[in-house]
Structure 1
Amino acid sequence: MGLSGKGLTIQSQPICFTWRFEAEWPVLSVTKNIDQFGYTAASFQSKLHLFTDIIHPDDRERIAAESRAFLTANTESFQQDYSIITHSGEIRDVCVYSGVLKPGDHTVLYSIVHDKTLQRQAEVTLVKSEQQFRTAIETTSEGFLIVDNNFNITFANHALCQLTGYELRELKAHSVLDYINSEFKHIFTPALNRQGVQQYWREDLIIRHKNGLSLNVRLTATAMNDGTGFFAFISNITDHKKTEVQLQKLSRAVEHSASSIMITDKHGIIEYINPRFCEVTGYSESEAIGQTPSIISTKETPPACHEELWSTILAGKNWHGETFNRTKHGAYYWSLMSISPVMDDRGEISHFISVSEDITTQKDQQIKIEKIALYDPLTGLANRRLLYDRLNQSTEILHRQKDAGIGVIMLDLDHFKTINDTYGHDIGDELLKEVSHRLINCVRSEDTVSRLGGDEFTILLQDVSAPAAVQLIAQKILKSLRRGINIEQYNFHITCSIGISIAPLHAYESKVLLKYADLALYKAKNCGRNNFQFFDTSLDVTLSDT
């Protein structure tokens, strides 16, 4: 016989026996299956004088009283549930169906006993499982509901009530459709009921709170096995949707930004570039991603700049500065760049974001302005202002560090006025340009060659270790200018007069050094020109001259 309940089916073999209802209730016979309790039919009848001996002591009085009451009431059959003791002492739950027989003057009961132990255990397990499930549903932070095939709410947990603002009795009085914004109601159609067992779907919806506000939610639903409806989890994604909208706005802003935007991982590998980056650099997205920013770097950027950049951003700080870059096709351009580190949840750097603007036009204008302000428009040499700035910086450093000295060479061309008056200013200008080139070739890149006006030039020499070093430069200049200079159809052989002062040998102050070099220059002219002279104290100079 099969016993079923709440999805459980337990198979048991019934035990049939008869027993006489007298004061002692002796067992008359056992028909079958007594071996389920560890007995044989013979041993059961021989060893157990009374049927009540196998009934659990806790149930004996109740069973005896119920049996007498049934017989007194002349009931033809009745059912009893109790526990019995097997031959090995195990307790088993049974269901006993009994009928009354009256052969002669005796009353005999015919009983069928079903072992329900496994069913009882299964029922206890099921109840426990249901209790655990209900506890989980009621304690989860997600809303949960059950609806029938007409989408009427039959159950909702506490979280859903809190989410919607409604009490359970209010929710159960309505259909799901009553709480959903109209543009989403088309999802809930009768077709959902015909999509098969275990049908699963997920939708993002907008529902109305009891106070009238709209909530963005995510519904995850599954059809019940028996086809009677659906159960669903409801997650509040309102904040997520707001964040998503903000991210979409940010994404559109980045995509359409007038600035070049590049995102790298913590190792400097490019993971994202926006369209403006592609436009400025000439690199496509596929060409740039996976590379490093070195694809646009140039050797003209000083190593110290790169070191300062990386030390700043690796320390978790923002870096701002100008960089000189190169496009895919080799064109150079200037960028005003900001690089910011991005931290993860552990406070560690995960990415870097670079935002840069192409400032090539502005930079070119700035360079032109600086050139006008700091350089001689004819020769391109430093002008008086730039010379004075560099000379002041050098003397200040010399005051602090007491390192190798500096040299000041002041020169002008011998009889240049005669050339200018004879051949004209255009020829004179070309001659000055050639002289400028030859002077630059006589010194190092760290030295400064300047034109103060007319045919007057001043040279600032860095790291001068001794007067002999300056003397070599002066001799080189004299030799270089003696070589013939061809301007149009004319050939010129020119000379110059040179005056020299040295710091700290002669003085520390800029103005004094220039004055001393000028006095030495006049001495060179007085000595017949085409020579150089060092300043010495024999020259007529006083402190008031400075």
Structure 2
Amino acid sequence: MKIYPTHLTLLQLPTVKQFARAISDSVFIMKVAFHDEGPYFIYEYVNQEGLERSRLTQSCFGKPMEEVLIKGDVSYIRHHYEQALEEKRAVEYSDIIVGSNGKLEARTELIPVFKGEDVTHVVAFTKVFARQQNVLNRQTDRLFYSFMDNAEEAFVIFDLDQRILTVNPAFYEMLGYDKNEIIKQKLSSLQGHEGDSINEYFLLLREGENIPRYSTTWYSKAGQPIYVSIAFTSILDDEGIPAGAVAIIQNLTEEKRTRDAFTATEQLYELIATHTQDLVELIQPDGTMTYVSPSHEAVLGYKPEEMAGDSIVNYVHPEDMRAIRAKFSNPTSSIENETFEYRIHTKTEGYLWAEANIKLVRDEGGSLHHFVSSSRDITKRKDAEEQLKVLAYTDELTGLTNRRVFKNILKKAVARVKRQPISKIGLLYLDGDHFKGINDAYGHLIGDQLLTKLANRLTSVVREEDLVSRIGGDEFAILLATIESPHEAIKVADRILEAMKTPFEIGDVRLTFSFSIGISVFPDEANNAEELLDRADRSLYAAKAQGKNEYVYSSWLDS
């Protein structure tokens, strides 16, 4: 059902702007201008919801969309604007947004604005079909898209049917596609030569399995081969069920060309190595380095002569040493070409992460002669991958583990006790008694600071081996990993209620806060993790019913 007009006049634009300030839909007013190559669309006005949703700022005003949007997205959006302009009628189109609320559908209606017979503006009304986003959701979205937009690696997010939902600018640059050419397309159709392999990978991703990083050849839109290193990671929903997948793709074409140019002649290796920032070594089967490129001094701080004649193993992180020793100390190794990651010691700054490509060189008789190793610093990429893990598994506001991680750890703890029933597991489910009132009275900023202080105080009450997680809002859960009796869980609940008697100081605001707590113990009241959670949840509501600032132990409900 249409809720917006099919056309507007220039005199109605001030009213549209007033209307835009009061609605939750995103509103964009684009001025139409012309040059020799055709029309272009300039940002004249965007309401606050539009700025938030599209990650724009007021600096976009007065600029054409080509200067504001990601290059690969422009042709997809511009096509619909040109249709509204040329046909002088309202045009509708839909898009997919991926954010902290999951996969969302956005529907946009473009309305031409007339002055006489001419179209002077196009007004876009965009409605996103999703549950309400809070401030934390939007902060997470901005962090997520900021990372995606600035990453050197290409990122692609798919649904479980392989359809592409969103990509970052690096993907457009690497493969040369525009958004309208790839959106909702299947990966196996874009890279048809790998269709069978990709289909097998997505079967594993549907089961929650990840695909370790591997190297292969993809093809750009123009048909040019691109040598890539790629890994697929399954995206799980809040219940731990696979909901999609993300691919992280690194363009290794230039590195491959360099490596392919190597021959077995040491003089040629040395010539190339002298002019590259890659760490190049010639390594004997026992791990001894007979040649070390000059780039080691710039990257690691060691002069080549300091390392030459030494074993590569002596520079490897202890946790990676066994694997590296196995690769170089076996004279009968059959490795022809292999890529792997390891940590290598620097002279002054500890360890950095490196990705090494190892090539085996044989003598005229076909026997192993030596290895050629070419490594590059991937510390930034490893740091970025670690940031993604933090976003996926940690509550951004409090730093505690989130609901997904808590459930996974709880299931593992229950499985451990089933195997070795020498102790019990205690579960405390906490819900704030008047958090909404504090938010309403003092605002979300004070509310967020209070949640952080609550997380710190709860952590201080329990043992180091116990787990405190934020489940959502002002709900927390505490896993007591090993207890001897339910009485220990009850004592923790007593300590929490006592700790909450001390007011919280946030700037000039002094707040009191209390929890209602539900307690359950495995295996006394449950047969599995789901039953344990359910018993704790019911006990929590019983505590609320008793007047709040109370705790109820699950077994009391049965008496």
TM-score of the alignment, normalized to the shorter chain, above 0.5: no
TM-score by length of 2: 0.43
Structure of higher CA gyration radius: 1
